[in-house]
A and B are shown apart, each in its own frame.
Chain A
Amino acid sequence: MARWGMVIDLDRCTGCAACEVACKSENNIPTVSPDQANMGRAMNWMKVTAELEGEFPDTTMHFYPRPCMHCDNPPCIRVCPVQATYIDDEGIVGQIYPRCIGCRYCANACPYMVKYFNWYGPEWAESERQHLNPDVSVRPKGVIEKCTLCHHRLQKAREDARAEERELREQDYQPACAEICPTGAIVFGDLDNPSHRVASLKEDPRAMRLMEDLGTQPKVYYLRPRE
């Protein structure tokens, strides 16, 4: 069974945020009004956060592109009263939008703050509806959403592979963020499959996971920047 995960090389990441926008485009993530955005209601399944340290001119800055960590031991799913968030056999942590009651408990339980709530129903200008991705459902108001590892791409890739009667290959299933990254900082694949690049990259001495001490066992690894 595959165990999908990501390795993000902070040494390569330039903080350009192409991954963030690609994710929004791929997953029909609605935008909110400027006022709402400034209230903290903008949605970014992938969020490139910046960490600025030191004082001028001895400053350093790192960018952390942050999707859902798809924890192997996800604290978010245990607290959900209706099992509207779950982890599947391949380790993808998903949301069941039609079941979610919108209590936001999972959002509070996630230490990585990756869950986003639909405070209002999603809105697009009529013309903008044309660029919605038909593979991804639009979330109604009042439910939680987050990075799905572009699960719809897995489903498609799997159908294609089945139709062609072959195994799923590494390049068949790549999420939108990994695909667009201009520096190749995001590498995606099956962490348990030695032929996938992530399997060896995660053993790199620079590899770490966020807040590893919490025991959440994220499947998103980061490679520390080289000094």
Chain B
Amino acid sequence: MRPSRREFLWTMGAAAATVALKGTQDVFWTAEESADVGWAPGIEERRNSACLICPSRCGISGRLVDGRLVRISGNPLHPLSRGGLCPRGVAGVQLLYHPERLTSPLVRAGPRGADQWEEATPDEAIARIADQLQALRAAGRPEALALAAGYSAGTMHDLWRQFLSSFGSPNYVADEYEDGTDAVMASMHGIQRRPSYDLDRARLVLSFGAPLFESWWSPLQAFVAFASPDEDEGPRPRFVQVDARFSRTASRAHEWVGVRPGTHAVLALGIAYVLIRDELFDADFVARHVSGFEDFVDADGQPREGYRSLVTRNYRTEEVSAITGVPVERITSLARAFAANRPAVAVCGTDVTFAPNGLLAGLAVHSLNVLTGSINRPGGVLFADDAPIQPLPSPVLDETARAGLAHEPVGSPRPRFGNGGEALRFAEAVAGGEAAVEALLLYYANPIASSTHPSVWREALAKIPFVVSFSPFMDETARHADVILPDLLPYERWQDAPTPVSYPYPVWGLARPLVEPREGMTHTGDAVLTVARSLGGGVGQSLPYESFELLLQQRARGLFSVRRGMTLGDEFDRKHHSQMEERGWWLPEHTEFGPFWDELVERGGWTDLFYDDTDPHRFARTESGRIELMPAALLHVLNQEGSARELYIDVAHRAGQTPAGFPLRLIPYRVSTLASGTLALERWLAEQPGIFPDVLWVPWVEVAPETARALDMGDDTDVWVVSQRGRYRARLKVSHGTAHGNVGAPYGLRHPDGTAASPLQLLDGSYDPLTGLASWLSTFVRLERA
């Protein structure tokens, strides 16, 4: 049938009208639509606290409206961060209100790792944990308990130690930031402590690969020194960055020195050579405080070359230049600048120590501080004190505990100079069946995602019958747990927040709840105390605290009675206090602990901004009382090992032969906006990860234009990064900030679908046997089109 024209038009019209009518309801908005945020504000409040996201522990100030945390800004009273924050700290509100946060404790309901869970109440979950642990003790196997703990400076750390000791377990497995500098200090100074750097008062900061502005102990400490708020007290320090790639730090330092990967320490010794040759070093300091500079006779009666001879013989500037790629004049001028701009300080970063010769390289870098006498002087390397909080009483050790503690920790023996790679050794021992661990607690640790060897960890977990995770999120390792008892998030809990050792003054920051804790969640500290109470016996006696908050109050009594320091105060207070203490005065502001505590909480912590540089113990605690450039213990170990390695000789990691088929050197680095973590990302941070404005959310790798041309790959190609151990997918970015032949690989990123893109899992597995620290710079890869 042929439709008439009229019918045809009508049909068309009707169809159009139907669509139009149906559309209008959804199509037209009302003018008021979402003009406000969806809730009416009421009571406003500001509370100071501390950021617990990275070791820096900056001071924060939370803006609360009706009990919601609306903004995190800086606490201007905090002496380290002075009101500034890094983006991760600001984005904390998105951590607190993260949609992926667990909503209740979980108990495994299906097979391990099958992601089948039953919800439980906190009491049930805690009881479950206590029962299992009680059984271990009852069976006389307390040593079969282990804790893997991430960075937890302060009372949480002490609490765990106390708990494990009184329980009878020697297995505190640290899975945390370790940069190997403590081993350097221990060797040279006999002080088992990481160095503090007085960046604020230095005139020159020479950083050997320390990512000061990105992922250092405290980027905020570096920022504040860089900006030098007390400009009237002298010129701003000059930052010189020695780096293998054009990092953010390199880009904003006043001067950047590009070196070949793995040769930082060679450059340091080249500088030392010039200092010695031109007699620019502090001869007086060396004569008074240093040993091993001149040739000497060692413990076995053998004559040995000292530092001076070794350096003058091996590090002529031409040779150094050939190795490092830094021109001779540049080396000379760096040395001159280092000598002329005193106080100058050389900072040793992980790209020096995370190497097969890491410890020796670290010694080489630090020797510059020794040569110029930048030790224990304003603007140099300091050995600061911890905040004098009240120590926990010695644990009460019952029979069971003593027996348990007599066991070697799982994963022993430790390396001679440090404890790097402890977590991996632990996992290997368990996976290999050398140790029977019955229960594992995971606190701030997610090794399945963060380890260089996740498969070893998977095997280990499979062999441990009872695994507890305290993670507030369903992270990769929590997935393999039997019980998840989610911790409160940082803005909901009490925790002390001591600043990292890199900062030269003790600051005991205090994080306190800004908002009401989410229902069903338990502060891990409180959980530990509850478990201890229900275990009773020595464990209960060792931890007789009602709550973690009261425990913190107890510790603060140490600060109240120490007769120095102050609760955090503004710039005037800070100056006033340090000037008074310099003259040996101190005025008590409180006669009662109560008001003192209240003020401490209100201001966000306690500090003591006075450093006593007349204390001789702060130079060295070696037997000789001198700083040992040729540490006897280290020489002894090297001798004993029959190691071919020599002090101040084997400091470079040179790229001898590259494995066939893997022509490019992998340079993993940390993106400054990402937390250490393997944590689910905060969305704001995912939108600002690097310096490439067009790569958001997706993992990328960087190569030089030359490299890209050789590979015939353009910007934005999808590639596989392949090493002998594995591969991952990333987007290729061509950048002039990378040297030809290197692949800059940010780690800690994930694809939007959640798959990890971790260059650390490609690492070749080599490490420094002296410290146990993994080598991060000896891995070679190739790129394939994905």
Residues of A within 8 A of B (CB): 12-18, 20-22, 24-26, 28, 31, 33-35, 37-38, 40, 42, 44, 47-50, 52-57, 59-63, 97-98, 121-122, 125-140, 176, 179-185
Contact = CB atoms under 8 A, between A and B. Distances in A.
A148 B40 CA distance: 22
Contacts of A13: 252
Contacts of B698: 34, 38
A18 B90 contact: yes
A183 B223 contact: yes
Nearest to A121: B34
Contact of A52 (B35, B39, B736, B739): B736
B436 interface: no
Contact of B86 (A18, A24, A25, A26): A18
A148 B726 CA distance: 48
9 contacts: A16-B672, A18-B89, A20-B87, A25-B93, A26-B71, A55-B736, A61-B252, A132-B37, A181-B84
A200 to B, nearest CB: 15
B35 A98 contact: yes
Identify the interface centre among A14, A132, A134: most chain B CB within 10 Å of its CB.
A14
A31 B90 CA distance: 15
B737 A180 contact: no
B90 A128 contact: no
A120 B695 CA distance: 21
Contact of A131 (B29, B82, B93, B224): B93
A56 B736 contact: yes
Nearest to A127: B97
B87 A18 contact: yes
Contacts of A48: 688
A171 B380 CA distance: 35
Contacts of A35: 752
Given A52-B691, A59-B737, A183-B84, A14 B31 contact: no
Contacts of B693: 47, 49-50
Nearest to A182: B84
Given A37-B697, A129-B37, A21 B90 contact: yes
Interface of B: 29, 31-41, 65, 68-74, 81-87, 89-91, 93-94, 96-99, 101, 213, 219-220, 223-224, 226-227, 229, 246, 248, 251-252, 256, 258, 325, 672-673, 683-688, 691, 693-698, 704, 735-740, 752
A48 B97 CA distance: 25
5 A-B pairs closest in CB distance: A182-B84, A57-B258, A61-B251, A183-B227, A125-B99
Contacts of B688: 17, 20-21, 44, 48
Contact of B40 (A56, A134, A179): A134
Nearest to B213: A14
Nearest to B683: A31
A130 B97 contact: yes
B252 A15 contact: yes
Contact of B684 (A31, A38, A59, A136): A31
Nearest to B65: A134
Given A57-B258, A133-B70, A183 B98 contact: no
A188 to B, nearest CB: 14
Contacts of A55: 736
A216 B656 CA distance: 57
Contacts of A122: 34
B85 A182 contact: yes
B752 A34 contact: yes
Given A12-B227, A14-B252, A134-B65, A56 B34 contact: no
A131 B70 contact: yes
B87 A16 contact: yes
Given A15-B691, A61-B251, A182-B85, 20 more contacts: A16-B672, A22-B73, A24-B684, A37-B687, A42-B687, A44-B687, A50-B691, A52-B246, A52-B691, A56-B704, A59-B736, A61-B246, A127-B97, A129-B38, A130-B97, A131-B69, A131-B70, A132-B70, A180-B73, A182-B227
A121 B33 CA distance: 10
B99 A21 contact: no
Contacts of B97: 125, 127-128, 130-131
Identify the interface centre among A17, A21, A127, A134: most chain B CB within 10 Å of its CB.
A21
A57 B227 contact: no
Contacts of B252: 13-15, 61, 63
Identify the interface centre among A18, A62, A128, A181: most chain B CB within 10 Å of its CB.
A18
A25 B37 contact: no
B730 to A, nearest CB: 14
Contacts of B248: 14-15
Contacts of B697: 34, 37-38
Given A21-B685, A127-B98, A128-B99, A56 B35 contact: no
Nearest to A181: B84
Given A12-B226, A21-B87, A60-B251, A140 B70 contact: no
A185 B227 CA distance: 8
Contact of A57 (B83, B85, B256, B691): B256
Contacts of A25: 71-72, 90-91, 93, 684
Given A50-B693, A140-B34, A56 B739 contact: yes
A20 B690 CA distance: 13
Contact of A56 (B84, B89, B246): B246
Contacts of B256: 57, 59
B355 to A, nearest CB: 21
Nearest to A33: B752
A134 B219 contact: no
A116 to B, nearest CB: 12
Given A38-B696, A128-B94, A134 B738 contact: no
B461 to A, nearest CB: 30
A203 to B, nearest CB: 18
Nearest to B695: A38
Contacts of B695: 38
Contact of B224 (A17, A98, A182): A182
Contacts of A34: 686, 696-698, 752
A192 B74 CA distance: 28
B223 A182 contact: yes
Nearest to B689: A17
A164 to B, nearest CB: 16
Contact of A179 (B73, B87, B740): B73
Contact of B38 (A60, A132, A139): A132
Contacts of B35: 97-98, 137-138, 140
Nearest to B58: A182
A133 B71 contact: yes
Contacts of A53: 736
